[in-house]
Structure 1
Amino acid sequence: MELRKLILMATILLSSCIEQQSLLPTGTELLKNTDFSSSMDNVSPWIAVSSPGFNLGVSDTVFRSGSRSIFIENTDIFNENSGNWTQVYNGPIPGPGQRVRLRAHLKGENIRLFTPNSNVFISLRFFPVQDSGGSLAGRFISSQQQIRVDGTFDWRPIELVVNSVPEDVESVAVFLVMGPRVTGKVYFDDVTLTVD
């Protein structure tokens, strides 16, 4: 009986150590090229995902830090598409239950929202989009309804906190988005995804 208790305690201790080793340290940065300035040739690994009507580009004259920022621009008030920049993180994933924080800074020029659901926002998507139990819950998180931006404004922070990373995550995608029925030009800089 004592041997079974000893084996059970050793198993619990070992699994606890393994679980602790899989947690990423607080402050770990998951994204690369957070100020879009690591290379003068491109903003890799950021990828522009353009839809008809959107102009996505890199600015060497408007930036918050480093030497560049990225932007999304739309002039068509009836455009039902969205434009976005994205980066996918495939490295060591924060353990289930760990907290992550997505931060970015925005600068807007003549941003106008034409429907109640129009917005400029940041979002995270955990892949696969379904966990091993088939649940979609907590796999997509967006700032779209939390903070609305409009008009012309200087650099301001925006953030999104995920209090508990879901289970069965293989990769995380970050999206910087100008949604449907939004006009103007928005710049993004200093985009970070950190373990809290």
Structure 2
Amino acid sequence: MLTDIKSLTREQVESQFKAWNEPAFRVAQLLDWLYARRVTTWDAMTNLPKTLREKLREKFSLNTLELVRKQGSDDTTQKFLWKLADGQLIESVLIPARPALYGEASDRHTLCISTQVGCAYGCKFCASGLDGWKRNLGVHEIVEQVLAVERWSATESLKCSVSSVQSENPGGLKTENLKLETRPPARLISNLVIMGMGEPLANYD
């Protein structure tokens, strides 16, 4: 099984690229595609040479989470149910700040992420651990929760933008009037917290 590229530190990526005799600036390009532009395929990394993309494809995987279900309204907490590559399910929860609580506008968004599948602690007051503990999440599975929610946000923003243009052009929307966005999408998440289900320090490594 191939190692997911998102499991590697920057230093590990630099070491691999050095072994491949790739110039150092390629590392920054790769990380930009992964974490700023948040692409999900090697072919989307268009400023990387095709030969390098093939090396990456043969050496590493680029897995994503499958969104099974999302609950919540547009302006409140959003709960995401994700399916992992092995079929296990985990949750992430996006919590927007409520300006009414602070008396001023706020664009703070906190994402609560999972670090384990299930829970081994069996607290009697909590239903989350009824099925027991399955396994720890890998680094890439933890990181991918953040990236997946950011992708969802970018998609929702694009839908809103298209709807706005359509409302301003009731006679029809001409695709030639739409400009493709070449900049990385804006970041939504400003804070990260760890899901209370399970024990984060049990997956410290």
Question: For the superposition of Structure 1 and Structure 2, which TM-score range results when normalised by the shorter chain?
Answer: under 0.3
* More helix per residue: 2
Give TM-score scaled by structure 2 length: 0.26
Q: Which has the higher contact order (CA 8 A, sep 6+)?
A: 1
